[in-house]
Chain A
Amino acid sequence: MGRASTNADSLKHSLPKAQTGIEGLDQITGGGLPRGRPTLICGSAGSGKTLFGIEFLVRGATQFGEPGVFLAFEETAEELAQNVRSLGFDLERLVEEQKLAVDYVHVERSEIEEAGEYDLSALFIRLGHAIDSIGAKRVVLDTLETLFGGLSDTAVLRAELRRLFRWLKDKGVSAIITGERGDGTLTRQGLEEYVSDCVILLDHRVNDQLSTRRLRIVKYRGTAHGTNEYPFLIDENGISVLPITSMGLQHQVSAERVSTGVARLDTMLGGAGVYRGSSVLVTGTAGTGKTSLAAYFADATCRRGERCLYFSFEESPSQLVRNMRSVGLDLEPWIKKKLLTFHATRPDAYGLEMHLAMLHKLVNRLEPHCVVIDPITTFANVSSSKDAESMLIRLIDFLKSRQITAFFTSLTHGGNALEQSGSGISSIIDTWLLLRDIELGGERNRGLYVLKSRGMAHSNQIREFLLTAHGIELSDVYVGPEGVLTGSMRLAQEARERAVAMTRQQEIERRQREIDRKRRSVEAQTAALHGQFEAEQEELMRLIAQEQASADVLRTERGRMAASRQADNPGDGKSAIPLRDTGGRK
């Protein structure tokens, strides 16, 4: 705490302050209410004035060692004690411990007759006695206006009130005076005339059946204070004021990157995920997987051993945990380890400011590293979209100032333009992811784009966003001459391409086989020719040998015949004229 108002430090010197201990109030007042002076708390019936006073005293007594006196004009001490017991304030114990004195002042006109001059010294004496008896430093008067109902001499009353405030200042007590809101004036009896130091207005408005409590510092002399209306809530811990303002864009930024829980998405975001302390918005129509993405983000946070606060406005924690199991995510262990905290409420459970205050409170208590709000669009349902926008801006500023990475989901409706965040906050978001339906070939598939991501090179491509039993998968979409294809169309297209490729491969193989075959046939032919040749050669050789044999026989025969005829040419037996064998084989 204390980081919200940058001017708080410079204010410390200006005026002594009495810390209220009321969550958030000390921040917007720069340290509390003016010490030793009266403060006027005004508001209509039921706006929380009495509780404000009680908490001022109880916190003073228990946290700051300053006992207090409660002068009640409307309720008895017993009634008061009962009323605030539910908020954890034990007035009776404080009274016993001498840290608190409650005096019920009963003024009943019908019991009182006025006969002559009087003053309110007795009230001063009572108050003074109560203050002195416990050494009180704080006083609450709730509410002085009852005196106007009980006494008729308003001239005396006004003079006495003036004297009372002077007297309170002299006593040096930090006082709260409550006053009922009047018509067009802050208080019915114009108490603001007397209390010039600090005036705080409490407001309880009901819009569209949703109540919102707001607090505004009307004036605070000597202190630069926020003039905005600050929402506050009353719950089991008393009052908490929401000191969310626009913070002037001076927060420190981190260069550290954190994973989104989906590896491929990290790749799309410059390969390292989003910056710590930045804000991530996921928009998409119903059923595009925003919550799953958010759950993966939460899971990644817990995996790093960091705390994650998950605000679920549509699903109960157990339903969410069950549903996430179907996409391969078990959040249960993180809940058990107290790393993951769910806060599930219906958006119309209370007004916008109450939601914001609740959020703020939980963030303060749990100090998470990441906050998931699923979805932010519900806020627009419970109030005007302008209010929702201003609230979200304040929320984002608040989270950024704490270096908390914020992950918002936003539901866009089918009729709207897709690039619309639904809450008009897109311009202050750092990383904007768009999930959209791609309707093609009779089916819906999910596509994911990175619309913007400040400070990093990010992918400009669409990815198909698949929710499978083992998690989120991002796959490339088919981008071809026939456009972007997803889902079964992509699968079909891929199959077609595979078929084409296969055919081509088969063709190649077929051709190769043909070559082989041809080669083999050529070789076979060659072998056959060779064989034929050899056969012919063999035959020819055999004929040649036969011829030669015949010729030899003939020559031998002729020689024998010549010899038998006693030829004169016995010679060598060779005939001068070779005789042709005319086929006389054998």
Chain B
Amino acid sequence: MTAKKTVPPTLQELAATKTGDPDMWELRLYVAGKTAKSQAAQENLKKLCEENLPGKYRIEVVDLLVYPQLAKGDQIIAIPTLVRKLPEPIRKVIGDLSNAERTLVGLQLRSTRS
């Protein structure tokens, strides 16, 4: 399937990510409200990125309770889901990212930057 970039016009911070920097990692984390899992996922993601992609990443957090229509575009079924929009191809990691090893494999960071 093709990765459609469903960018809601209301999200200004998303609009700001359209930099076109080829080295930039664009990551999107889908959550649903402020649940423990959501919080954990955000914290784990931030930590992983700082360790592995310092200064080369951008994280958007999308709350599906606020923007339910966005779930369709990225084919989200699980919460939390991390989507690597760039670099392509699209990769998805589901779960609270507590398993750092698997998260890195899922983002294909383990094979390239081990």
Which residues of A does B touch, CB under 8 Å? 103, 105-108, 111-123, 125-126, 128-129, 147, 151
Q: Is B93 touching A117 in the complex (CB atoms < 8 A)?
A: no
Chain A min CB distance to B70 (Å): 9
Q: Do A116 and B95 have beta carbons less than 8 Å apart?
A: yes
Q: Provide the bound-state CA to CA distance between A245 and B108, in Å.
A: 61
The distance from the CB of B33 to the nearest CB of chain A, in whole angstroms, is 9
Nearest-CB residue, chain B, relative to A126: B71
A128, B91: Cα distance in complex, Å: 25
Instruction: Find out whether the CB atom of A121 lies under 8 angstroms from the CB atom of B64.
Output: yes
Q: Which residue on B lies nearest to A76, using beta carbons?
A: B1
In the complex, which residues of chain A have a beta carbon less than 8 angstroms from the beta carbon of B100? 115
Which residues of chain B come closer than 8 Å to A112, judged between CB atoms? 92-94, 106
Q: Would B96 and A105 count as touching, CB distance under 8 A?
A: no
- CB of B6 closer than 8 Å to a CB of A: no
A115 to B95, Cβ gap below 8 A? yes
A-B contact list, 30 entries, CB within 8 Å? A105-B77, A107-B75, A112-B92, A113-B102, A113-B103, A113-B106, A113-B107, A114-B93, A114-B94, A115-B94, A115-B95, A115-B96, A115-B99, A115-B102, A115-B103, A115-B106, A116-B44, A116-B97, A116-B98, A117-B98, A118-B37, A118-B96, A119-B79, A120-B77, A120-B79, A122-B77, A123-B77, A123-B78, A125-B68, A126-B72
Contact A125 B71, beta carbon cutoff 8 Å: yes
Name the residue on A nearest B95 (C-beta). Answer: A116
For B44, B68, B69, the residue with the greatest tally of chain A CB atoms inside 10 Å of its CB is B68
Known contacts A106-B1, A115-B93; is-contact A128 B79 (Cβ 8 Å): no
Most buried by B among A107, A123, A126: A126
Interchain CB contact under 8 A, A105 and B78: no
B91 proximity list for chain A (CB < 8 A) = 111, 113
Q: Closest CB-CB distance, B108 to chain A, in whole Å?
A: 9
Chain B, interface size category, equals 35 or more
Is there an interface contact between A126 and B103, defined as CB atoms closer than 8 Å? Answer: no
Selected from B71, B79, B94, the residue in CB contact (under 8 A) with A129 is B71
B7 at the interface (CB under 8 A from A): no
B73-114 at interface with A (beta carbon < 8 Å): 75-81, 90-103, 105-107
Considering residues A108, A112, A115, A129, which has the most beta carbons from chain B within 10 angstroms of its beta carbon? Answer: A115
Q: From B79, which residue of chain A is reached at the shortest CB distance?
A: A121
Please tell me if the beta carbons of A118 and B90 are within 8 angstroms of each other in the complex.
no
Q: How far is the CA of A559 from the CA of B32 in the complex (A)?
A: 193
Q: Report chain B residues within 8 Å CB of A116.
A: 40-41, 44, 95-99, 102-103
Chain A's closest residue to B100 (CB) is A115
Q: Are B105's CB and A113's CB within 8 A?
A: yes
* C-alpha spacing A560/B12, complex, angstroms: 201
Task: Collect the chain B residues with CB atoms within 8 Å of residue A128's CB.
Answer: 68
Q: Does B65 contact A (CB under 8 A)?
A: yes
Q: Is the CB of A126 within 8 A of B94?
A: no
Which residues from chain A contact B44 at a C-beta distance below 8 Å? Answer: 116
Contact pick for A107, options B32, B65, B77, B97, CB 8 Å: B77
Cβ–Cβ contact B94 & A105, under 8 A: no
Q: Chain A residue with minimal CB distance to B38?
A: A121
Interface centre among B37, B72, B81 (most CB of A within 10 A): B72
Chain A residues contacting B32 (CB-CB under 8 Å) are 121-122, 125
Contact in complex: B64, A125 (CB < 8 Å): yes
Residues of A within 8 A of B41 (CB): 116
Given contacts A122-B81, A126-B77, contact A113 B93 (CB under 8 A): yes
Note all chain A residues with C-beta closer than 8 A to B98.
Answer: 115-117
B106 A118 Cβ-Cβ under 8 A = no
Known contacts A106-B1, A114-B102, A129-B68; A147/B77 CB under 8 A:
yes
Cα distance A106–B97 in the bound complex, in angstroms: 22
Nearest Cβ in chain B — how far from A27, in angstroms?
Answer: 38
A106, A111, A129, A151: the one contacting B78 at CB < 8 Å is A151
How far, in angstroms, from A120 to B72 measured CA to CA in the complex? Answer: 14
Contact A125 B65 (CB under 8 A): yes
A114 B69 Cβ-Cβ under 8 A:
no
A106 contacts B75, CB within 8 Å? yes
In contact, B92 and A118 (Cβ under 8 angstroms): no
Contact call B78/A122, Cβ cutoff below 8 A:
yes
